Amino acid sequence: MPLTQDLNKFTTASPILASYSYTDIESGSGVSIFYLAKTADLYLITPSTIYSQQVTTQSAIGANTSYVKLLDIDFDVSFNTVRTIKGTAIVNVPVGVHHGHTTGLSHTYVIVKLRHYDGTTETDLATNQGHELDTVGGSANTVTLMDSLDLVVAEKLFARGDTLRITVEQWGKYTAANAGTVFFGHDPKSRATTTLDTYTFGTTPTTLMAHIPFKLDI
Protein backbone atom coordinates (compact mmCIF):
# COMPACT_ATOMS: atom_id res chain seq x y z
CA MET A 1 0.00 0.00 0.00
CA PRO A 2 1.62 3.33 -1.00
CA LEU A 3 2.14 5.42 2.11
CA THR A 4 1.64 8.60 0.08
CA GLN A 5 -2.04 7.71 -0.34
CA ASP A 6 -2.70 7.62 3.40
CA LEU A 7 -3.96 10.96 4.70
CA ASN A 8 -3.37 10.02 8.33
CA LYS A 9 -0.16 11.04 10.08
CA PHE A 10 0.35 7.51 11.44
CA THR A 11 0.20 4.36 9.33
CA THR A 12 0.53 0.67 10.02
CA ALA A 13 3.85 -0.85 9.01
CA SER A 14 4.21 -1.85 5.36
CA PRO A 15 6.10 -5.03 4.34
CA ILE A 16 9.13 -2.87 3.53
CA LEU A 17 9.08 -1.51 7.09
CA ALA A 18 8.09 -4.78 8.73
CA SER A 19 10.43 -4.23 11.68
CA TYR A 20 8.33 -1.26 12.77
CA SER A 21 5.01 -1.39 14.60
CA TYR A 22 3.87 1.82 12.89
CA THR A 23 5.37 4.74 11.02
CA ASP A 24 5.19 8.51 11.46
CA ILE A 25 5.84 9.91 7.99
CA GLU A 26 5.71 13.53 9.15
CA SER A 27 8.66 13.06 11.50
CA GLY A 28 10.37 10.45 9.32
CA SER A 29 10.26 7.82 12.07
CA GLY A 30 9.46 4.14 12.20
CA VAL A 31 8.30 3.26 15.70
CA SER A 32 9.02 -0.14 17.27
CA ILE A 33 7.08 -1.29 20.32
CA PHE A 34 9.17 -3.11 22.90
CA TYR A 35 8.14 -4.87 26.11
CA LEU A 36 10.22 -4.90 29.28
CA ALA A 37 10.27 -8.07 31.37
CA LYS A 38 12.17 -10.19 33.89
CA THR A 39 13.39 -13.74 33.31
CA ALA A 40 15.15 -15.94 35.85
CA ASP A 41 18.45 -14.12 35.29
CA LEU A 42 17.79 -11.02 33.20
CA TYR A 43 15.86 -7.80 32.95
CA LEU A 44 15.38 -7.51 29.21
CA ILE A 45 13.70 -5.65 26.35
CA THR A 46 11.85 -7.78 23.82
CA PRO A 47 9.46 -7.30 20.88
CA SER A 48 7.49 -10.35 22.06
CA THR A 49 4.71 -10.52 24.65
CA ILE A 50 6.42 -13.15 26.79
CA TYR A 51 5.44 -14.00 30.35
CA SER A 52 7.62 -12.19 32.88
CA GLN A 53 8.82 -14.42 35.71
CA GLN A 54 7.48 -11.82 38.13
CA VAL A 55 4.90 -9.12 37.49
CA THR A 56 6.60 -6.62 39.80
CA THR A 57 9.90 -5.50 41.27
CA GLN A 58 9.57 -3.95 44.71
CA SER A 59 11.43 -2.32 47.60
CA ALA A 60 10.55 -1.34 51.15
CA ILE A 61 10.67 2.40 51.75
CA GLY A 62 12.36 2.03 55.13
CA ALA A 63 12.87 4.95 57.50
CA ASN A 64 13.04 7.61 54.78
CA THR A 65 11.02 10.77 55.32
CA SER A 66 12.61 12.43 52.25
CA TYR A 67 12.62 10.96 48.75
CA VAL A 68 15.36 8.37 48.17
CA LYS A 69 16.07 6.10 45.20
CA LEU A 70 14.91 2.60 46.13
CA LEU A 71 15.06 0.78 42.78
CA ASP A 72 17.42 1.20 39.82
CA ILE A 73 16.76 -1.46 37.18
CA ASP A 74 18.39 -1.70 33.72
CA PHE A 75 16.44 -3.38 30.90
CA ASP A 76 18.64 -4.14 27.86
CA VAL A 77 18.44 -5.17 24.21
CA SER A 78 21.35 -5.38 21.74
CA PHE A 79 20.89 -4.64 18.03
CA ASN A 80 22.27 -6.94 15.32
CA THR A 81 21.92 -4.23 12.66
CA VAL A 82 22.82 -0.55 12.51
CA ARG A 83 19.90 1.61 13.65
CA THR A 84 19.44 5.30 14.45
CA ILE A 85 17.09 6.49 17.17
CA LYS A 86 15.57 9.93 16.69
CA GLY A 87 12.37 11.53 17.96
CA THR A 88 10.01 11.22 20.91
CA ALA A 89 9.93 7.90 22.71
CA ILE A 90 6.97 7.01 24.92
CA VAL A 91 7.40 4.70 27.89
CA ASN A 92 4.37 3.40 29.84
CA VAL A 93 5.26 2.36 33.39
CA PRO A 94 2.86 0.63 35.83
CA VAL A 95 3.62 2.24 39.22
CA GLY A 96 2.44 1.17 42.67
CA VAL A 97 2.86 2.06 46.33
CA HIS A 98 1.60 0.28 49.46
CA HIS A 99 1.14 1.70 52.97
CA GLY A 100 0.60 -0.69 55.86
CA HIS A 101 -0.56 1.66 58.63
CA THR A 102 -3.79 3.48 59.38
CA THR A 103 -1.72 6.61 60.05
CA GLY A 104 0.67 8.37 57.73
CA LEU A 105 1.20 8.10 53.98
CA SER A 106 3.63 6.56 51.53
CA HIS A 107 4.70 8.29 48.30
CA THR A 108 6.50 7.30 45.10
CA TYR A 109 7.41 8.29 41.55
CA VAL A 110 9.54 6.81 38.78
CA ILE A 111 12.30 8.25 36.62
CA VAL A 112 12.91 6.67 33.21
CA LYS A 113 16.22 7.00 31.33
CA LEU A 114 16.97 5.98 27.74
CA ARG A 115 20.63 5.09 27.33
CA HIS A 116 23.16 3.94 24.76
CA TYR A 117 25.67 1.33 25.92
CA ASP A 118 28.55 0.16 23.73
CA GLY A 119 29.91 -2.41 26.16
CA THR A 120 32.17 0.09 27.89
CA THR A 121 30.50 3.50 28.08
CA GLU A 122 26.91 4.26 29.09
CA THR A 123 25.48 7.48 27.61
CA ASP A 124 22.19 9.06 28.68
CA LEU A 125 19.99 10.02 25.72
CA ALA A 126 16.83 11.25 27.49
CA THR A 127 15.33 11.36 31.00
CA ASN A 128 11.89 12.14 32.39
CA GLN A 129 10.15 11.91 35.75
CA GLY A 130 6.68 10.50 36.21
CA HIS A 131 3.66 11.46 38.31
CA GLU A 132 3.90 11.42 42.12
CA LEU A 133 1.65 8.69 43.51
CA ASP A 134 0.40 8.85 47.12
CA THR A 135 -1.49 6.41 49.31
CA VAL A 136 -4.78 7.33 50.96
CA GLY A 137 -4.76 8.45 54.61
CA GLY A 138 -6.67 6.66 57.35
CA SER A 139 -6.20 3.05 56.27
CA ALA A 140 -3.71 0.48 55.05
CA ASN A 141 -4.00 0.58 51.27
CA THR A 142 -2.33 0.09 47.89
CA VAL A 143 -2.52 2.64 45.06
CA THR A 144 -1.49 1.99 41.44
CA LEU A 145 -1.13 4.05 38.27
CA MET A 146 -0.22 3.49 34.63
CA ASP A 147 2.22 6.33 34.00
CA SER A 148 3.19 7.64 30.55
CA LEU A 149 6.51 9.40 30.04
CA ASP A 150 7.71 11.14 26.89
CA LEU A 151 11.44 11.24 26.20
CA VAL A 152 12.85 13.34 23.38
CA VAL A 153 15.92 11.69 21.86
CA ALA A 154 18.37 13.56 19.65
CA GLU A 155 19.69 11.56 16.71
CA LYS A 156 21.84 8.69 17.96
CA LEU A 157 23.45 5.94 15.92
CA PHE A 158 23.52 2.42 17.36
CA ALA A 159 26.20 0.29 15.74
CA ARG A 160 25.81 -3.45 15.41
CA GLY A 161 26.16 -4.97 18.88
CA ASP A 162 25.32 -1.74 20.73
CA THR A 163 22.75 -1.91 23.52
CA LEU A 164 19.60 0.13 24.05
CA ARG A 165 19.18 0.41 27.81
CA ILE A 166 15.99 1.60 29.49
CA THR A 167 16.56 2.33 33.17
CA VAL A 168 13.65 2.55 35.58
CA GLU A 169 14.37 4.24 38.90
CA GLN A 170 11.71 4.25 41.62
CA TRP A 171 11.86 6.76 44.42
CA GLY A 172 9.89 6.72 47.66
CA LYS A 173 9.30 8.26 51.08
CA TYR A 174 6.86 7.94 53.98
CA THR A 175 5.25 10.26 56.51
CA ALA A 176 4.33 9.35 60.09
CA ALA A 177 4.67 5.58 59.83
CA ASN A 178 7.46 3.34 58.55
CA ALA A 179 5.46 0.69 56.67
CA GLY A 180 5.62 1.50 52.97
CA THR A 181 6.61 -0.45 49.86
CA VAL A 182 7.12 0.82 46.30
CA PHE A 183 6.86 -1.37 43.21
CA PHE A 184 6.53 -1.20 39.44
CA GLY A 185 5.15 -3.68 36.93
CA HIS A 186 6.83 -5.34 33.92
CA ASP A 187 4.70 -8.18 32.55
CA PRO A 188 4.11 -8.18 28.76
CA LYS A 189 1.04 -10.38 29.39
CA SER A 190 -0.36 -7.75 31.79
CA ARG A 191 -1.18 -10.11 34.65
CA ALA A 192 -2.20 -8.52 37.95
CA THR A 193 0.10 -10.72 40.05
CA THR A 194 1.86 -14.09 40.34
CA THR A 195 2.69 -16.30 43.31
CA LEU A 196 6.10 -14.58 43.38
CA ASP A 197 4.59 -11.11 43.88
CA THR A 198 3.48 -9.53 47.14
CA TYR A 199 1.22 -6.79 45.81
CA THR A 200 -1.38 -6.80 43.06
CA PHE A 201 -2.07 -4.15 40.45
CA GLY A 202 -5.75 -5.08 40.39
CA THR A 203 -7.30 -3.66 37.23
CA THR A 204 -4.29 -1.48 36.36
CA PRO A 205 -2.34 -2.97 33.41
CA THR A 206 1.12 -4.25 34.27
CA THR A 207 2.69 -4.04 30.80
CA LEU A 208 5.87 -1.95 30.81
CA MET A 209 6.03 -0.79 27.19
CA ALA A 210 8.35 1.45 25.19
CA HIS A 211 7.58 3.06 21.82
CA ILE A 212 11.02 3.76 20.32
CA PRO A 213 11.35 5.98 17.18
CA PHE A 214 13.93 4.99 14.58
CA LYS A 215 15.02 7.22 11.72
CA LEU A 216 13.64 6.15 8.33
CA ASP A 217 15.61 6.43 5.11
CA ILE A 218 12.91 8.21 3.10
Q: Using CA atoms, how far apart are residues 106 and 149, in angstroms rounded to an integer? A: 22
User: pLDDT 10s per residue in the chain (218 long)?
Assistant: 333 333 334 333 333 334 788 877 667 788 999 999 999 999 999 999 999 999 999 999 998 999 999 999 999 999 999 999 999 999 999 999 999 998 899 999 999 999 999 999 999 999 999 999 999 988 999 999 999 999 999 999 999 999 999 999 999 999 877 789 999 999 999 999 999 999 999 999 999 999 999 988 76
Report domain extents, the chain: 36-81+90-147+158-208
CA-CA-CA-CA torsion sign (83, 125, 41, 194): negative
pTM over 0.85: yes
C-alpha distances in angstroms, 8 versus 4, 16, 22, 24, 26?
Answer: 10, 19, 12, 9, 10
Buried-exposed string 18-47: b where 16+ CB fall within 10 A, e elsewhere: eebbebbbeeebbbbebbbbbeeeebbbee
Q: Using CA atoms, how far apart are residues 27 and 32, in angstroms rounded to an integer? A: 14
- In the chain, the amino acid numbered 119 is G
